[in-house]
Structure 1
Amino acid sequence: MKKVFYAIAIAASIFTGCSSDDDDPIVKQPVEGEISGELATSKVFAYGNYTLKGMVKIKSGVTITFEKGSTITADKTNGEAGLIVLLGGKLIAEGTADEPIVFTEKSKVAGSWAGIIMYGDAPIVNSATAPAPQSAKSEDGLDLPYGGSNEQHNGGSLKYVRVEYAGQVITSNKKEHNGFSFYSVGAGTTLENLVSYKGNDDGFEFYGGTVSGKNLISYGNSDDSFDWQDGWKGQNNSNWFAYQTVKANYGMEIEAKGVNNAFGPKVTNITLKRAAGTVTEDQSEIQLDAIQFKAQGNGDYSNIIIDGYASQTTPTAFNGGAVQIKDVATYDNQVVGGKIKLTNVKVTNTPNLFITGATGFTVSAASFPGTNWGPTTTATGAALTGGKWATVDGVNLLANL
């Protein structure tokens, strides 16, 4: 009988060992591939490592999906490269906090590629006299029209996506790119947990439209961290973090093409930080303030932390400040007119609350009607949760938050 029990014990041990082996996790291997040309058929790119070659365009009616954890790498030695979502196309790139989707460039040099560009037909405003809907031509060298009347335009869903080393500038204001460029993108598009890392132009730029962005990080970009024009009016923006270092301009540059409009975007929970020693990119004008309003830019901003926008002594002496109003029209119509609201604002390591960018007016707390200017010591700014999506080469991008 003892031999029987011993045999059973041996068999059980063998069975248990086999079960343990069967339960070992299967490691999914990334596929390899190249993405180029016009994408005219909907496709899912499986988890993998892809080379992006040329200015790849997602055509109207086409949905392109990238699985979580994928890496898409451009190579500047192959020429200009970028991923463009044309009007009517959709990009679905939904990573996770620990399996982000990363768009990068082989050399890891800022300004090496064009980043992600998306087109929609949501409204823009670039003329006070032109009838609605209005349109304009893009400044990315593609010279494509943007603008329309579709406030709910849907260009897809970007979640936990990081763009690195973009912001390629070929001709200023005529052929330049950002980390993320959104032309007339509508409110049906999802933008959440996005990082623009060490680009050579703006981190995020909105050219009109109604889309909103949540949990956005603009880190180490050489121009503005967040920039918009053409009457962008996203209403559900929250948790924006800008960290500027080495060379940079404004934390947020806000304009509306000179149109005295009755609307503006709404952004809550903002942290704008500038590292010591950071200098403005363009030495011909003041561009080192946390927030600049110009050309009738306006909006509602709350729970803001501004830190480190100090005066610059070299190579050109400029005064640093929290808020710059560039021109008289913006001062008269947007500040005094009550269309700029900055509430629950905490300012540290910044010598001037306000900078006046032209002659003929002086900005002060008294310039803002009612409670439109609200300084505080208790603002909390952006609230973001870390993970691989916010980590580059072992550096936690949220360490300075």
Structure 2
Amino acid sequence: MKKIAFSIAIIAAVFTGCSINDGTEVVKTPVTGEITGDLTVSKTYPYGNYTLKGFAKVASGVTITFEAGSTITADKTDGDDAFVILNGGKLIAVGTAAEPIVFTEKSKVAGSWGGIIMYGDAPIVNSATNPAPQTATSEDGLALPYGGSNATHNGGTLKYVRVEYAGQVITQNNKEQNGFSFYSVGSGTTLENLVSYKGNDDGFEFYGGTVSLKNAISYGNADDAFDWQDGWRGQENTNWYAYQEVVGNYGMEIEAKSVNNAFWPKVTNITLKRAAGTATEAQSEIQLDAIQFKKEGNGEYSNIIIDGYKNQTTPTAKNGGAIQILDLTTYNNQVVGGKIKLTNVTITNTDNTFISGASTFTVAASSFLPTTNWAISTTATGAALTNGAWSTVNGATLIK
């Protein structure tokens, strides 16, 4: 029996890559392959290095699985690339802290591909008058419909996944692609320990839906670290970390398509940091701020660290601040209406606490947010994340 048990232990070590009793480490050999076109049959891609060509689309009813440690590499020289999960399809990409699944691009230039795009049929709201369920057309160049009434839509499970060098700016390319784009994705989807690294638009963007995001890093993305619209209402969001450098707009850009909703998202444990000298992406931006509310954006946010949102002097002068309310309607309906709550907020190295985003309305800082919905402190801890291979790029850790 001892010989049989020892043989089983050796076999297990070979197939899992674990050490055996003599301390020898078994090295797994990655497979290679290509991913392209419509993915119409469920498949598991074993640990390996894969080339992504074109818009790979996971069809409805299909589940695509990547094993931990896999790398999927796009190449902008052979055309536009993105990994797309269509409504009804699923992506199961479960890495580990030591063996993340990485979607990247060969040139390592921001904006070189479309990132991960997921579609669902969870509720969206983009009109105050149209009855539910409402729909809209995607901005990613595919022009696909999204929206519906399936609040628990399940697009799969993403854990310890990093997307690098993605993003397209809609004003330059007539399409918007981000590190991660979630179109009406539902609460049945699991999003945990995700990294969006040095993209040319937003790190994470939600277009309506009910999905929540836990343990997320948005690092060096040229537009907003976290962005949403269409009445996104995720309720279990926690541990969001943003670091903006060189070029970046808002840490969080919050809007609701000008609809005064009776619901809102909730996020706890947030860290928003901006490196010295970081300029706005487009000089037409009115301000540069950690959190911007506009077009009836709202929500509950707690345990927040804001650092480094200082006034910009070059190339053009702009005010920097912690909280911006862009328009009077948002102020009247969301602030005065008690639908924006920020508690346990620690602000450092930031020139202004509150900014009115438009010259057409001005609110004194002393009355900007009701004291029942605003609480500043010196003890906020922000995002609680642990560095590892999942949060390390080119030898540098992303959590500063």
Q: Deviations over 1:182-228 (max 9, x none)?
A: 00000000000000000000000000000000000000000000000
Deviation at 1:176, TM superposition (A): 1.8
Q: Deviations over 1:107-159 (max 9, x none)?
A: 00000000000000000000000000100000001000000011100000000
Give the 3 Å change call, closer, same or farther, for CA 95–357 of structure 1 in structure 2.
Answer: same
Q: Deviations over 1:236-259 (max 9, x none)?
A: 000000000000000000000000
Find the counterpart in structure 2 of residue 235 from structure 1.
235
Which AA in structure 1 matches 2:368?
Answer: S
Q: 2:366, 2:92 → 1: CA distance?
A: 44
Alignment of 1:230-379 (within 5 A): 230-358=230-358, 359-362=360-363, 364-379=365-380
Q: Deviations over 1:322-362 (max 9, x none)?
A: 00000000000000110000000000010100110122331
Match of 1:176, SS state, is coil
Give the 3 Å change call, closer, same or farther, for CA 363–64 of structure 1 in structure 2.
Answer: farther
Find the counterpart in structure 1 of residue 390 from structure 2.
389
- Contact 1:269 / 1:383 at 8 angstroms: preserved in 2? yes
Matched length: 380
Root-mean-square deviation over aligned CA pairs: 1.3
Q: 1:253, 1:21 → 2: CA distance?
A: 53
State the 4+ residue runs in structure 1 displaced beyond 4 angstroms: 20-23, 170-173
Which 5+ residue runs of structure 2 have no aligned equivalent?
1-19
The alignment's TM-score, normalised by the length of structure 2, stands at: 0.93
Find the counterpart in structure 2 of residue 88 from structure 1.
88
Match of 2:84, SS state, is strand
Give the 3 Å change call, closer, same or farther, for CA 292–363 of structure 1 in structure 2.
Answer: farther
The alignment's TM-score, normalised by the length of structure 1, stands at: 0.93
Q: Deviations over 1:346-394 (max 9, x none)?
A: 0001010011012233152423234201100110000001110000000
- Contact 2:287 / 2:319 at 8 angstroms: preserved in 1? no
Find the counterpart in structure 1 of residue 13 from structure 2.
none
Which 5+ residue runs of structure 1 have no aligned equivalent?
1-19
- Contact 2:124 / 2:208 at 8 angstroms: preserved in 1? yes
Alignment of 1:139-178 (within 5 A): 139-169=139-169, 172=172, 174-178=174-178
Which AA in structure 2 matches 1:154?
Answer: N
Deviation at 1:58, TM superposition (A): 0.2
Find the counterpart in structure 1 of residue 116 from structure 2.
116
Which AA in structure 1 matches 2:238?
Answer: S
Match of 1:333, SS state, is helix
Deviation at 1:175, TM superposition (A): 1.0
Q: Deviations over 1:6-48 (max 9, x none)?
A: xxxxxxxxxxxxxx89873432100000000000000000000
Q: 2:71, 2:366 → 1: CA distance?
A: 47
Q: 1:74, 1:354 → 2: CA distance?
A: 41
Larger CA deviation: 247-256 vs 161-170 = 161-170
Structure with higher Rg: it is: 1
Alignment of 1:159-238 (within 5 A): 159-169=159-169, 172=172, 174-238=174-238
Match of 2:288, SS state, is coil
- Contact 1:139 / 1:173 at 8 angstroms: preserved in 2? no
